[in-house]
């Protein structure tokens, strides 16, 4: 059965909420951007620390010119929910995001490979169904 996630067609990107289950078992909501140009899903180091998956954030991470994020590790999430679809044991990149971006995650092609994804810009619908 397909799921429909609403998004704002006036926004520059497709913003959507995602949910991850923390190490303590609590479900928390994060703000994400759907990024069809990213090969893998990335979560901010700040969000991963808040969820208990990182002990500390690297303080010396610098964004390289031309890059939007700076990946510096990987974490396997026991459960992440994207567009109301639970995904178990998804390996994501740990990335440094600038706080001013206002997002916690980039949803990459690893998500698209698991689901049929239709973007209906006129309606502001992201329609997803398992393959």
Could you tell me the two tokens for 54? 């990182």
**Domain limits at 19?**
3-130
Q: Give the range among 38-47, 51-60, 67-76, 110-119 with minimum mean pLDDT.
A: 67-76
Q: Tell me the helices (H) and strands (E) count for the chain, helix number first.
A: 2, 9
The pLDDT of residue 61: 67
Each residue's pLDDT tens digit, 100-110: 788 999 999 99
Residues with Cβ within 8 Å of residue 71, at least 6 apart in sequence: 42, 93, 94, 95
Q: Are 115 and 129 in contact (CB under 8 A)?
A: yes
For 26-46, the pLDDT digits (tens) are 999 999 999 988 899 999 999
> CA-to-CA distance for 49 and 57, rounded, in angstroms?
7
pLDDT of residue 107: 95
CATH number at 96 reads 2.40.70.10
Structure confidence at residue 67 (pLDDT): 55
With cut-offs at 50, 70 and 90, classify the pLDDT of residue 55: confident
Q: Would the pLDDT of 63 be above 80?
A: no
Contact in structure between 103 and 15 (CB atoms under 8 Å): yes
pTM of structure: 0.86
Q: Between 86 and 64, where is the model more confident?
A: 86
Q: How many structural domains comprise the chain?
A: 1
Using alpha carbons, list the distances in angstroms from residue 113 to 16, 36, 41, 64, 84. 18, 11, 12, 28, 16
Query: At 19, which helix (H) or strand (E)?
Result: strand 15-21
pLDDT higher than 80, residue 66: no
């Amino acid at each position: 059965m397909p799921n429909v996630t609403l998004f704002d067609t006036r926004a520059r990107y497709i913003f959507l909420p995602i949910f991850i289950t923390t190490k303590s078992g609590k479900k928390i909501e994060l703000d994400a951007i759907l990024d069809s140009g990213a090969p893998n899903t990335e979560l901010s180091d700040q969000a991963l620390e808040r969820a208990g998956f990182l002990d500390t954030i690297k303080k010396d991470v610098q964004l390289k010119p031309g890059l939007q994020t700076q990946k510096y590790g990987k974490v396997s999430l026991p459960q992440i929910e994207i567009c109301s679809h639970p995904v178990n044991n998804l390996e994501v990149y740990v990335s440094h995001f600038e706080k001013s971006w206002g997002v916690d995650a980039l949803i990459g092609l690893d998500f698209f490979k698991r689901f049929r994804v239709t973007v209906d810009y006129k309606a502001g619908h992201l329609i997803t169904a398992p393959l």
